[in-house]
Amino acid sequence: MTIATKYLALWWRIVTGVGTLFFPPQCAGCGKVNTWLCSTCAETIPLLEGPLCPRCGRPWEGEGNCPACRAHLPAVRRLRAATLFAEPIRSAIHALKYNGGREVAESVRPLMAKAWAKWAMAGDLLAPVPLHPRREARRGYNQSALLATALGLAVNLPVVPDLLERIRPTRSQTQLGREARRRNVAGAFRVRRPSLVRGRHITLIDDVATTGATLDACAVALLEEGAASVDAFTLARAA
């Protein structure tokens, strides 16, 4: 981490801290003060229900894979999520990513654990999708790593936070279409610890799956290093 990046991270933490002091967190569900997502509201968030695309986990009532997966078969063997990307989870994830709301990861641990069991997920280890070092320094943490740690404790699986690294900065995927997202993240990830990958069944962890392009780019890097299979599990799924 460069000196400039360290100062940027410090500045961002100061700004976030001052903002929290004058504008304390409010639960995304009920408005309760001093929490981004209270346990009561977290318990009421519904699990994602089927029918789903068997490959990418998108809500899909047709037979077999959805049209997107038929057009471009993902490298991820199976993608599942805990819930739909709707309120209050949408605002809770925004707080987790942009407002220093680390506590959200703990609040949603029971939800993620229930969904993990519901979809019969399994694997040898959990690997969070990495941020670029500059973005992680500015944020102060990787939200996907926080979610992976919370889930790993709940399902008794090891978490390897540094299994992957993002080797080049990428544009935000938010305003990009499906093909643009795929091009944006192609070749953006590298395996840092190949010895932990070969022959292993790995589950990627992220906050939200939209097109799945980022997860797919991570899976390609893992499979190229000899992973036996790569699944993915996210907190939320965009419909």
Q: Cα-flanking dihedrals φ and ψ of residue 9, to 5°? A: -65, -45
Identify the band that residue 4 occupies on the pLDDT scale cut at 50, 70 and 90: low
Tokens of 157: 């699986």
> Would you place residue 8 in the very low, low, confident or very high pLDDT band (cuts 50, 70, 90)?
low
pLDDT band at residue 239 under the 50/70/90 scheme:
confident
For residue 130, is pLDDT > 80?
A: yes
Percent over 90 (pLDDT), the chain: 78
Find the mean pLDDT for residues 182-206.
92
Would you say 69 and 79 are in contact if contact means Cβ atoms under 8 Å apart? no
158 pLDDT higher than 60:
yes
Return mean pLDDT, the chain: 90
Please count the structural domains in the chain: 1
pLDDT above 70 as % of the chain: 88
pLDDT tier at 42, thresholds 50, 70, 90: very high
- In this predicted structure, the answer to whether residue 104 has a pLDDT above a threshold of 70 is yes
Q: What is the CATH number of the domain that holds 96?
A: 3.40.50
Please check whether residue 193 is in contact with residue 221, taking contact to mean a CB–CB distance below 8 angstroms: no
Q: In 87-144, at which residue ranges do the beta strands (DSSP E only) sit?
A: 125-128
Q: How confident is the model at residue 184 (pLDDT cuts 50, 70, 90)?
A: confident
Average pLDDT over every residue of 174-181: 71
Containing H/E element for 42? helix 39-44
pLDDT at 174: 67
pLDDT at 152: 98
Q: How far is CA 83 from CA 21, 51, 137, in A?
A: 31, 13, 28
The pLDDT of residue 15 is above 80: no
Q: Which position has the higher pLDDT, 2 or 172?
A: 172
Show the domain range for 218. Answer: 3-237
